[in-house]
Amino acid sequence: MLDTAPPLDTDSNAPTPTTGWTDGRVGVWLVGARGSVATAVAVGLHALAAGLAAPTGCATAGAEFAGVPLPGFDDLVLGGHDVSTTPLAHRAQALADSGMIPQRYVTAALAGLEQADAEIRPGYHPGTHAGTQAAAVARLADEILAFRDRHGLDHVVVVDISSTEPIAADRPEFHDAVLLAAALADPARAVLPSSSIAALAAIESGSAYAGFTPSAGLSLPVLQELAAQRGIPFAGQDGKTGETLIRTALAPMFGARGMHVHSWAGANLLGGGDGATLADPEAVQSKLASKTRGLRTLVGEHVVAPLHIDNVPDLGDIKTAWDHIHAEGFLGSRITMQTIWSAYDSMLAAPLVLDLARLLALADAAGAGGVVPELGFFFKDPWGSDVHDFGQQTDDLIEWAQSTGARLAVARRPARVAR
């Protein structure tokens, strides 16, 4: 039977955030809005906004952010694009049946899931789109703007959590927005991947943007330049949820203690939609590159770092990552360390999506256009930053959030009237 009285989850000591947010409601527009991550976001957002669960896993719920004016969870409104037509409620029930999400939260969120599902529009797919890519961008942007107007939103944050795309080695690079616009208007050409069409739609709708996947998205220089010119805050790339999180926390330890890392081998086992997607040898290349780049930055290019990602269908949405580290210590002594990380990857990603929505809304309200390097805390391959040390990233994020919040508070303070 379905649970009907979901209790407050009190397992976490994390404080429920108190905010001084006064900038209205915030739209969270998800690219890939019917996937596992988006479904976990939708169920989790309902549970948090209704006070049914503690914000466990949300970095912005920590004490360091208590004085930062961030939108509350009940200020967030969901919508999105997806090529899938599976209703969110059906997807959520499947995740509950798999053991990922407790049934009581899915039951409590059914009405909210239907409301969110009504705000999902068909995404761009090059195989089914009949017009130009310029027309596709215009349609996607118009749908984001209509969502903004329909709900009276003050800010919209677009977060790409769609399936990883293959790297297209033959795709032309544009360094001029005018030339790109002309190419997009050519019905005989398809010059941008789907993720970049969605990113350009975010720009055209004036929405903040986060690239949570290793797909091209907003990584193209011409798109980043265009976003910066229009004062749109953005961050990416490729969410750091598990194995890479451990690596960027542990690798600085070896360096700080003067140990020499010779090799850092890794293997990832996963099933579900991500496992099937990454079984494609072309699609997996961008993921392997982003997972390895930060490690080499931290321990040196000399490190031998083989990495495998294998599809194991029976694991479902549980991802298991195994790492074997070989380092050299005093007088050449051998040091060996092994780590195993096993979790529902979508449940690790979902709170980070909510964090990014809150922080990019803060950036947008404070007028912080362009790349936000300090949000590299959330990513494997951060835009605008060469910092991969997780401890340093944490300090940078907190400092940025507190200073940006303070500037926003000053800007919103009513001017004194002279007597």
Structure confidence at residue 171 as a pLDDT band (50, 70, 90): low
Tokens representing 91 are 């997807």
In the listed set 303, 322, 344, which residue is the last one of a domain according to the structure? 344
The CATH number that applies at residue 250 is 3.30.360.10
* Whether residues 53 and 201 fall in one domain: yes
What pLDDT does residue 332 have? 96
- 278/103: higher pLDDT: 103
Q: Average of pLDDT values for 51-62?
A: 96
Tokens representing 294 are 């930060």
Q: How many domains does the chain have?
A: 2
Tokens 């967030």, residue located: 76
The CATH number that applies at residue 115 is 3.40.50.720
In this structure, is residue 1 part of a structural domain? no
What pLDDT does residue 165 have? 87
What pLDDT does residue 172 have? 61
What pLDDT does residue 175 have? 72
Q: How far apart (Å, rounded) are the C-alpha atoms in residues 110 and 93? A: 10
pLDDT in tens, 212-251: 999 999 999 999 999 999 999 999 999 999 999 999 999 9
- Maximum average pLDDT range among 53-62, 162-171, 184-193, 262-271: 53-62
Q: Average of pLDDT values for 189-199?
A: 91
Give the helix ranges, DSSP H, for 300-389: 345-365
What pLDDT does residue 387 have? 96
3-class DSSP assignment, residue 418: coil
pLDDT in tens, 332-342: 999 999 999 99
User: In this model, does residue 151 exceed pLDDT 50?
Assistant: yes
* Whether residues 40 and 148 fall in one domain: yes
* Whether residues 199 and 258 fall in one domain: no
Residues spanned by the domain of 262: 243-344
Q: For 334, which DSSP code? A: E
* Whether residues 71 and 120 fall in one domain: yes
* Whether residues 179 and 58 fall in one domain: yes
Rounded (10°) angle between helices 133-151 and 177-184: 100
